């Protein structure tokens, strides 16, 4: 799909606006210097369909992979140790992705399911998680800088770069979007 009109037509036909469709419409709107009258009409039609319920926007995330949280926790601790005791700077996202690609996913759709998956992982997978994070760090430390022009995946216009604090903040916003809200209300934050 490469035009707003086609995306809207597909959404109306299916009755759903997927996150990918929404992102593509956003990308087109962001990169176009000016939208055509047809594109404005398609957007208006989509807005009307969303308001009447003819098209339903599929939520971005109705589930979580608890393994992401566990790997990030382990990676943050290990990267923090290394960066505190050396002059090396490690990319937390690279390390987490490397380890996650070698570990089983632990998906959950409810808090109870997530709690179950966390407990299961603590009992059965803790050593494997630590091993994979250590291998990811070793890989990162020993990797030559073949592609210095690599660009990090963008998150709403800003790259995940910089200090470990910036990386952690960005990753937490992605994987725990309600964290700031809960913390601001004085509610306990489950990690």
Q: What is the pLDDT of residues 5-24, one digit of tens each?
A: 999 999 999 889 888 888 88
pTM given for the model: 0.55
Read off the pLDDT of each residue in 90-106 and give the average, rounded to a whole number. 94
pLDDT tens digit string along 134-149? 999 999 988 766 666 6
- Alpha carbons 8 and 14: distance in angstroms, whole number: 10
Q: How far apart are CA 49 and CA 62, in angstroms?
A: 22
- For tokens 């208006």, the residue is 44
C-alpha span between 137 and 79 (Å, rounded): 8
Classified as helix, coil or strand, 64 is strand
Mean pLDDT computed over 85-107: 92
């Amino acid at each position: 799909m490469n035009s707003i009109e086609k995306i809207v037509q597909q959404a109306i036909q299916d009755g759903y606006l997927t996150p990918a469709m929404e992102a593509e419409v956003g990308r087109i709107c962001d990169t176009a210097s000016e939208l055509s009258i047809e594109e404005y009409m398609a957007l208006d039609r989509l807005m009307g369909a969303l308001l009447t319920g003819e098209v339903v926007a599929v939520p971005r995330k109705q589930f979580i992979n608890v393994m992401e949280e566990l790997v990030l926790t382990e990676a943050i601790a290990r990267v923090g140790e290394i960066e505190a005791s050396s002059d090396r700077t490690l990319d937390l996202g690279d390390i987490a992705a490397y380890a996650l690609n070698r570990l089983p996913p632990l998906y959950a759709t409810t808090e109870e399911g997530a709690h179950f998956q966390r407990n299961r992982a603590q009992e059965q997978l803790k050593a494997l998680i630590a091993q994979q994070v250590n291998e990811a760090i070793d890989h990162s430390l020993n990797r030559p800088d073949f592609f210095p022009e690599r660009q990090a995946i963008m998150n709403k216009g800003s790259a995940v770069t910089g200090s470990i604090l910036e990386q952690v903040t960005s990753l937490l916003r992605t994987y725990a979007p309600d964290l700031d809200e809960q913390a601001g209300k004085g509610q306990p934050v489950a990690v």
